[in-house]
Amino acid sequence: MITLPRLGFGAAAIANDGVGLGQALDCVEAAWDSGMRYFDTAPMYGAGHSERLLGLALRGRPRAEYVLSTKVGRLVRPSHPDTEQTGADWIYDFSREGILTSLEESLLRLGVDSVDMLYIHDPDDHWREALEQAWPTVARLRDEGVVCAVGVGMVQAPMLARFIRETDLDLVLAAGVYTLLDTQALDELLPEAERRGVTVVAAQSLHGGLIDGVADAMFRYRPVDEQTRAKAARIAKVCHEFGVPTAAVALQFPLGHPAVRCVLTGPDSPGQLAQNLEWAARPVPAGVWTRLREEGLLSEETPVPSTDLATA
């Protein structure tokens, strides 16, 4: 199994509108110079733009020195009839042919011969097809040595737990389901992962900046309800009482659980990357976790980090 660093680079944001080529490439270069060696992308991000940018930025880097993951389950098809109603540039395809085509196209966009890890991407409404067609296909790719590890990435915890129970996947990418604002992964996902030795990669720890007070942030891709916004404010109040940025606490929190091996960040500029690294390295006083529990913002059973990223 691949050993992942505690902090990885999510390449979705560098493909956002308004991020120029130079800024995107500088961001990845800054990540490399900082020592980051795990990079994650997907065809969906910018309709293939993220993969092309990441491949360009990593070109010439020794391939054996970094871990690269992408995803399958969506094909970039801007002119497909199905995209006319959704407005998307991609279509869902969890069939065997779709998975193999997706990987082939990703390798071309990335400009590499292989990726290390492959995730089935957001099969929420496609459980049967994902389990019966996508899963056997990615498992065979792993067993034949085409990729080193396979898993599933989603924004809900119950189906990830079900995949762990019903397959022999290696890892899961849990997006926004084990954070200071949402600990649903504690119910089934994390216990199952720990029991089966499945690696968990946590993403969306900051919920697009919501945890740090960004006014127009979304929660689970929807407008933020008042209860969630109030909880974020209470968490921020505790963190600020101890003189610690809320984002630093949020970024480090998932790593307190033994099943979580890596947290993905998604910067879009060298400055944002530097800020993420500073947050990840900021010591968090033990009193912060104690107070969050006293305030009922974390349960007594919720594990918390015993060390920070800088000293781990």
263 Rama class: left (phi>0) / alpha (psi -120 to 50) / beta: beta
Is 233's pLDDT higher than 60?
Answer: yes
Reported confidence tier of residue 217, pLDDT bands at 50, 70, 90: confident
Most confident among 174-178, 207-211, 213-217 (mean pLDDT): 174-178
Whether 14 and 24 have beta carbons less than 8 Å apart is answered as yes
Confidence of residue 219 (pLDDT cuts 50, 70, 90): confident
Distance from C-alpha of 232 to C-alpha of 104, rounded to nearest angstrom: 42
254-274, pLDDT tens digit by residue?
Answer: 999 999 999 999 999 999 999
Region 161-171: mean pLDDT is: 97
169-181: average pLDDT: 96
User: Could you give the percent of the chain with pLDDT greater than 90?
Assistant: 84
Whether 66 is a known active-site residue: answer no
For residue 203, give the H/E element and its range.
strand 199-203
What DSSP element (H or E) covers 30? helix 21-34
User: Average pLDDT in the 34-40 region?
Assistant: 97
**CA angle, 142 as apex, 107 and 57 as ends, to 5°?**
30
End-to-end alpha-carbon separation of the chain, Å? 20
Backbone angles phi, psi at 280, to 5 degrees: -65, -30
> Contact at 8 Å (CB) between 297 and 238?
yes
Average pLDDT over residues 22-37: 98
Q: What angle do CA 257, 285, 177 make, to 5 degrees?
A: 30
Q: What is the pLDDT of residue 165?
A: 97
- What is the Cα–Cα distance from 268 to 58, expressed in whole angstroms? 16
Mean pLDDT of 18-47: 97
Averaged pLDDT for residues 56-85: 87
Q: Which residue has the tokens 């979705």?
A: 12
Instruction: Give me the pLDDT at residue 80, please.
Output: 65
222 pairs with which residues across the strands?
A: 219
The pLDDT-based confidence of 224 (bands split at 50, 70, 90) is confident
pLDDT of residue 86 exceeding 70: no
> Active-site residue among 45, 92, 119, 178?
45
Residue 312 is predicted with a pLDDT of 42
List, as one string, the DSSP characters of 210-265: GGGT-TT-EETTEEPPHHHHHHHHHHHHHHHHTT--HHHHHHHGGGGSTTEEEEEE
User: What pLDDT score was predicted for residue 311?
Assistant: 41
Tens digit of each residue's pLDDT (9 = 90 or more) over 89-144? 889 999 999 999 999 999 999 999 999 999 999 999 999 999 999 999 999 999 99
Task: Give pLDDT tens digits for 277-312.
Answer: 999 999 999 999 999 999 999 999 999 998 544 444
Give the pLDDT of residue 102.
98
Q: What's the pLDDT band for 215 if we cut at 50, 70, 90? A: low
According to the model, what pLDDT value does residue 307 have? 54
Q: CA 41, CA 68: separation in Å to the nearest integer? A: 8
In degrees and rounded to multiples of 5, residue 301 shows phi and psi of -85, -10
Pairwise CA distance, residues 97 & 138, whole Å:
11
> Helix, strand, or coil here: 82?
coil
Q: Using CA atoms, how far apart are residues 277 and 141, in angstroms rounded to an integer?
A: 34
State the chain's mean pLDDT as an integer: 92
Distances (CA, A) of 296 to 201, 239, 255: 26, 14, 20
> Which DSSP letter does residue 48 get?
T
Under 8 Å between Cβ of 119 and 153: yes
What residues contact 300, with CB distance under 8 A and at least 6 apart?
Answer: 293
Residue 52: how many other CB atoms lie within 10 Å: 18
Which of 86-95, 190-199, 232-241 is least confident? 86-95
